[in-house]
């Protein structure tokens, strides 16, 4: 493209300080350097992780910053050393990466790349420790290596999944984080067999994606566990067949589920980050074969305990990161599942706003309304 090698001036939503509305600014986006790609973002959506770091509670605040990490776009130009992407390719930038060279990337069992694993504190590019964003010569920090709340962004090539150009970017953009995390936790890690029972703890967007994974896997019973009873009606669209509110019972919810199922569920997926939910998810699976998978991110000082006999009785406890998907290798195939109508995404997208109204997306999430709000960058 004619802009290759040049600084691009475009609009971006800048977070200047913690908890304050984002400000639409004209930023300068430098050309991609070695192993980097500059992407024209067409659609981005808001994930709870963006809100968490915008609010800057419980971690190191880094401002001014361009947030955003669920998105779809088109490659504008590539830097030195990039051979598997070219201008015009349709891509999803991903908050974690796949260098294809480290021990994790070379392992069939792991997706936790040594070089490009999620780093919430880093605000610059790996290549030279500098930002590609600036306003009047002053750097604006990156977020998760993606910073998709900008009309153009620069991303390490290892964090870019090349996808089918026929796939609608306004839909598949949600696969770059939350939907893949939940869906993959079920189909890649819990792996329920057809006809088995699954309990999902937390019926937010990630939990409903986990329920979708259980539905696609042919689970016979999908029990949703949430403190908000109003979520059950929506959860039915994702295959949830029964609902349990822990607050409605005078005994631990794991005991309730064990009674409901005659011994426990075959699989459980925890998507809240609550220590109590993690314990419940593990202790509600059936002895002998039950598998519990932890997805939610706890507070840094959290710890939980369960009696070792729960493990000795042949229950399995697993953790997962990004649904065990390798971003470059696996995400294109997840997009194909949507294209082949094996995976439904439209029901996750409950709102859409133009880029100029990006703060409305934050208001919707803070109010607990809807699942995903897609932001249209050209509007």
76 in Cβ contact with 40 (< 8 Å): yes
Name the packing angle between helices 275-283 and 253-261 (round to 10°). 20
User: Of these residues, 113, 271, 284, 373, which one is catalytic?
Assistant: 113
Active site residue 83: no
User: Of these residues, 69, 90, 104, 221, which one is catalytic?
Assistant: 69
Active site residue 104: no
Active site residue 69: yes
The residue assigned the tokens 């051979």 is 83
User: Of these residues, 10, 173, 177, 373, which one is catalytic?
Assistant: 177
User: Of these residues, 48, 122, 351, 376, which one is catalytic?
Assistant: 48
Burial class, 298, CB count within 10 angstroms (exposed 0-12 / middle 13-18 / buried 19+): middle
CA 260 vs CA 191, 221, 286: distances in Å: 21, 11, 12
Active site residue 271: no
User: Of these residues, 10, 105, 271, 373, which one is catalytic?
Assistant: 105
Q: Residue 298, SS3?
A: coil
User: Of these residues, 70, 98, 270, 283, which one is catalytic?
Assistant: 70
CA 362 vs CA 217, 247, 359: distances in Å: 33, 28, 5
Q: Which of 125, 43, 45, 37 is nearest to 89 (CA)?
A: 37
User: Of these residues, 25, 117, 127, 242, which one is catalytic?
Assistant: 117
Active site residue 10: no
Q: Which residues pair with 41 in a beta bridge?
A: 73
User: Of these residues, 47, 173, 271, 373, which one is catalytic?
Assistant: 47
Active site residue 102: yes
Active site residue 113: yes
Active site residue 284: no
Active site residue 177: yes
Q: Report the C-alpha gap between 116 and 95 in whole angstroms.
A: 9
Catalytic residue annotation: 47-49, 69-70, 99, 102, 105, 113, 117, 177, 372
């Amino acid at each position: 493209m004619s802009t290759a090698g040049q600084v691009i001036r475009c609009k971006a939503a800048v977070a200047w300080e913690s908890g304050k509305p984002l400000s639409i600014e004209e930023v300068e986006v430098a050309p991609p350097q070695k192993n980097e790609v500059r992407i024209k973002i067409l659609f981005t959506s808001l994930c709870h992780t963006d809100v968490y770091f915008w609010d800057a509670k419980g971690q190191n605040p880094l401002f001014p910053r361009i947030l955003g990490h669920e998105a779809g776009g088109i490659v504008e130009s590539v830097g030195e050393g990039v051979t598997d992407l070219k201008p015009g390719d349709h891509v999803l930038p991903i908050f974690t990466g796949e260098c294809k060279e480290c021990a994790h990337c070379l392992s069939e069992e792991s997706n936790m790349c040594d070089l490009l694993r999620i780093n919430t504190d880093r605000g610059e590019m790996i290549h030279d420790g500098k930002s590609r964003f600036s306003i009047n010569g002053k750097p604006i920090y990156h977020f998760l290596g993606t910073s998709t709340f900008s009309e153009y962004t620069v991303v390490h090539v290892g964090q870019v999944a090349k996808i089918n150009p026929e796939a609608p970017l306004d839909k598949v953009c949600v696969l770059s984080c939350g939907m893949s995390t939940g869906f993959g936790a079920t189909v890649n890690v819990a792996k329920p067999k057809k006809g088995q029972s699954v309990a999902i703890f937390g019926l937010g967007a990630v939990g409903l994606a986990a329920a979708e994974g259980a539905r696609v896997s042919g689970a016979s019973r999908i029990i949703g566990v949430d403190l908000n009873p109003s979520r059950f009606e929506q959860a039915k669209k994702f295959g949830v067949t029964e609902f349990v509110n822990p607050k409605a019972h005078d005994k631990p919810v794991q005991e309730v589920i064990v009674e409901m199922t005659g011994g426990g569920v075959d699989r459980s997926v925890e998507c809240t980050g609550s220590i109590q939910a993690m314990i419940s998810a593990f202790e509600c699976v059936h002895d002998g074969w039950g598998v519990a998978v932890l997805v939610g991110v706890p507070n840094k000082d959290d710890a939980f305990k369960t009696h070792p006999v729960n493990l000795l009785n042949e229950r399995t406890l697993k953790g997962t990161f990004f649904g065990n998907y390798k971003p470059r290798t696996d995400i294109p195939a997840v997009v194909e599942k949507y294209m082949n109508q094996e995976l439904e995404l439209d029901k996750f997208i409950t709102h859409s706003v133009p880029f100029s109204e990006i703060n409305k997306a934050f208001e919707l999430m803070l109010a607990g309304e809807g699942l995903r709000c897609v932001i249209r960058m050209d509007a």
